[in-house]
Amino acid sequence: MPTSRLAPAAAVAALGLAAVALAGCVPNTPGGAPRLSVAISDTDCVVSADTTAAGTVTFALENTGSDVNEFEVFAEDQLRIVGEKENVTPGQQVDYVLQLQPGTYYT
């Protein structure tokens, strides 16, 4: 099964970065599609796993901060945004679904 990898990186503005490498060694939801919890605060972003299966990935976002924040997934070059969920309000919980090819990503 194709994979990707998620690993911590540097913080960016109100959003932290974590590398996301797609790998098939994390728990999946009953339907088979990977689901990762993401705690977004005003200073960082904590992803529940650093690897996940490639394909459709659900990021269960929760803004634990006091400001409106966003969640971004960057390509391996850390320059191109391959997905983004904006305007996550304080206390809000929302699912963000993204189709990821095998590779390394940053959040």
Reduce the DSSP state of residue 74 to 3 states and report it: strand
Asked if 96 and 59 touch (Cβ cutoff 8 Å), the reply is: yes
Tens-digit pLDDT profile for residues 37-63: 999 999 999 999 999 999 999 999 999
Q: Is the pTM of this model over 0.95?
A: no
Query: How many domains are contained in the chain?
Result: 1
Contacts of 58 (CB under 8 A, 6+ apart): 29, 33, 34, 35, 36, 95, 96, 97
Q: How far is CA 29 from CA 10, 37, 44, 99, in A?
A: 29, 12, 25, 16
Q: For residue range 8-26, what is the model confidence (pLDDT) as tens digits?
A: 433 332 233 345 554 433 4
State residue 36's pLDDT score. Answer: 97
